[in-house]
Each structure stands twice: as structure tokens, then as C-alpha cells.
Amino acid sequence: MKTQHLILIKTLCSQYNIEISFVDSLNKIGLIQIEVVDQNQFIHQDQIGNLEKMIRLHNELNVNLEGIDVVFNLLEKERALRNELNTLKNRLRLYEND
Amino acid sequence: MTFLDYYKILGISKTATEKEIKSAYRKLARKYHPDLNPDNKDAEKKFKEINEANEVLSNPENRKKYDQYGKDWKHAEEFEKAKQQQQTQNKYSRQGFSGEGQSEQDFSDYFESMFGGARSSSRQRSSTKFKGQDFNAELHLNLKDVYEPHQQILTVNNNKIRLTIPAGVENGQVIKIKGKGGKGLNGGPNGDLFIKFKINNHTQFKRAGNNLYANVDLDLYTSILGGEMNINTFKGKVKLKIKPETQNQSKIKLKGKGFPIYKKEGSFGDLIITFNIKTPTNLSDKEIEIFRELKKLR
């Protein structure tokens, strides 16, 4: 399997100064997906942005794993609502400046 | 130059304990953290101030300096520097202490001048990123531009990026250009470029999602008797059959004559036409007579 876009978890942990157990826990709770290739654990680089956010929430705001899950769900809902608001604003323009 | 009252920013008194500072910082950080307030510039600014306040006040040595100099910190700092230099380097004049070289940064001048070097190194250490910084940009296009795939060259940090914007992009939509943000650190992936589209519409059509809307004037006789007329679509004119007894404000839907559906090549929304029936004016005597006759028939 190609590992071109995959980042080794060990490297990642040393880079961010985080414990492997933290990444494991994020994986268990379903916040990130770990891929195993040749008995090595990897994470796809697309998930790095979200992972960084989780680390920041954990380290800077003392948010625990369950809290991170809640925050991510709410942020996702907020994103969907913002998109809906944008669509509605665009629709509203139909009735403006007639 | 801005002076920031760090105590006020954190909402604490000057006698606050370290624990109180920490608690106030955490409370405000949870409220204004950029990860929890995406696309909110005010929150971002506030968070920077909170961070700055915390970094100064949570360090006893820095806090002492801050308490000592207060609002007149800049002059005090200059004075201290000048005094030190005069003591150690008498051969130099005072001209080096004008402070003109200071530039406006995200952090206040006070912070930069007093703790600048130390802060930036500690900040760099703590914020070592694997992935590069994400960039945000806004791109203004006309509705006509996004009816078909659109080529655009963007210059981001002196790098030219050739972009093919898919047809059907919506106003306010954000697309991610992978790897076109800041450079990754230590071989990590680059950040991404997020482009928000602002679509200006100068056409006769209004757009809602993939559908287009237009008003078409219809003369009274065609609306009553039916007929044919040419109407404008986004792609050109089409001939339209008008049913007899078409009512004012009635709508017809032209399937597939709307806007392209984003990333679904060959798929289009609909064009919805609303008829505005125009009654004739400046009627001749004969026309009035005929209308009277018609009225009698009803």
C-alpha cells in the first residue's frame, strides 16, 4: 500500500510532543483514523489540520477527549448552519432590489 | 502604538494571585480560542490580547516590570535602556534610543519592546507545526465567470497558482486548495489555501442554488391567446410556447436551463420564468369600443 500521503504516528508524536496513547485515544473515540501498514501506524495527512486543532484544544484549553468530540460535533453543526445561512442569504437576494 | 491594560483584558484586579490569573485566562481562552471561533476576526484579536496578557502576568518577573512601568512603560523602558547604555558605553550618544524601528505586530508594542525576543523564541518553540499555516483569500468573480469552468492565476506569497474554478461555484462558498498554504516545517505537509468566492451578479437573472430566476414581460394579447416568444436564457435565446390564458405572475420552469451544478459536469439547474403581463396603454377609440364589447360578453 502507498504511504505517500501517510505520516508515521511515531514521527508525529515526537514532532508535537504528544503521547502515542493520546493519539490512540483519539482513534478509539473516532476523532481520527489510524491506518496500519506493515505493522506501522500512520495517519493520513488530510487529518493533520484537525489533529492539530485537537492538540490545541487539549493542551491550551484543557479540554478532555469527550469534550473535544463534543466541540468537533458542534463546530460541524455550526459549519452546516453557516452554509445553510449562506444559501438562504443567496435566496433572499431573489426578493431584494426588485 | 497601543497600550494594553492586561489586568483589564483578563478582568482581574492588580492584586490577583497567580491562580486567579490562570483561571481568568483559561476562562477567556475557552471563549475566544480561534479553533472555537472560526472566521471570527474579533475573537482572534481578543485571543491574541488575552494570550499576551497571560504571558506577561503569569511570569512574576515580567509582571513586576509591567506593574512598575504601567502606562508610561515606553518612556520608562527607554530611560532604563539609555541609563544602562550610558553607564556602560559612554562613547555612544542617545540617538539610538528613539524607538523608531518598532513595527506594528500582532502583539502590542509594549510586549514587543519589553519581551519581544524571549517571547518569540518561546512561542516558536511551543508552536512548532508539522503542517504549514493555512491561508485564506477572497476571490471576486462575476456570475458569468462561473457559468463555465474558469481559469484564474492567483499570486499567493509571490507564488503563482494556476487555478481552474469549477463551474457552479456559489457566492460565499469556500474551496480548499491543498498544499498551497504556508510551507510545512521539518518536511511536513504544506498548509492549505482556502478561497472564499464573492460572486457579483450583473445579469437579468437571479440565482438561488442551481436555479435561475427571471421575469419576462408578456403582452396582453399573447397572454390571452397564447403564442410564441423568444426569451433569454443564460446561454442564449430560446423559443417558448405561451399557453393561452396565461395569468399574470404565473411561472414556468425550463428544465436544465439554469446554472451548472457544482462538480457535476453536464448537469444544470432550472430556469424559472415569471410572466409580467403588460396591459396596453394609449388605447384608441376603436380599441376601447372592442374592449367594451368584450366586457359585455363576460
Convert the pLDDT of each residue in B212-234 to its tens digit: 999 999 999 999 999 999 999 99
Q: Is the pLDDT of residue B153 over 50?
A: yes
- Interchain contact, B131 vs A49, CB within 8 Å: yes
pLDDT at B8 over 60: yes
B44 shares contact with chain A (CB less than 8 Å): no
Helices (H) and strands (E) in chain A, counts: 4, 3
Task: Report all structural domains of chain B as residue ranges with CATH numbers, in order of start.
Answer: 6-126 (1.10.287.110), 135-200 (2.60.260.20), 206-297 (2.60.260.20)
State pLDDT tens for residues B106-145. 555 555 555 444 444 444 444 445 677 788 888 999 999 9
Confidence at residue B12, expressed as pLDDT on a 0 to 100 scale: 93
Q: How far is A28 from chain B (nearest CA, A)?
A: 22
Dihedral pair phi/psi, residue B58, rounded to 5° = -85, -10
Q: What is the pLDDT, as a whole number, of residue B120?
A: 41
Cα end-to-end distance, chain A, whole Å: 58
- Alpha carbon of A18: minimum distance to chain B alpha carbons (Å): 12
User: For residue range B157-182, what is the model confidence (pLDDT) as tens digits?
Assistant: 788 888 899 999 999 998 988 888 88
- Number of helices (H) and strands (E) in chain B: give both, helices first: 8, 11
pLDDT reported for residue B97:
34
A45 interface with B at CB cutoff 8 Å? yes
Contacts of B188 in chain A (CB under 8 A): 7, 15, 48
- The mean pLDDT value of chain A amounts to 88
Is the CB of A89 less than 8 angstroms away from the CB of B172?
Answer: yes
Give the tens place of pLDDT for each residue, B16-44. Answer: 999 999 989 988 988 899 888 887 888 88
Domains of chain A and any CATH numbers: 6-95 (1.10.1660.10)
Nearest residue on chain B to A59, alpha-carbon basis? B126
Can you give the pLDDT at residue B155?
A: 84
Q: State which residue of chain A sits closest to B30, comparing Cα positions.
A: A61
Q: What is the DSSP letter of B61?
A: H
CB of B96 within 8 Å of any CB in chain A?
no
Distances B40 to A96, B35, B37 between C-alpha atoms, Å: 27, 10, 6
- pTM of the predicted model, to two decimals? 0.55
Task: Give contacts of A62 with chain B, Cβ < 8 Å.
Answer: 26
| pLDDT average, residue stretch B4-8 | 88
Report the percentage of chain B scoring pLDDT > 90: 45
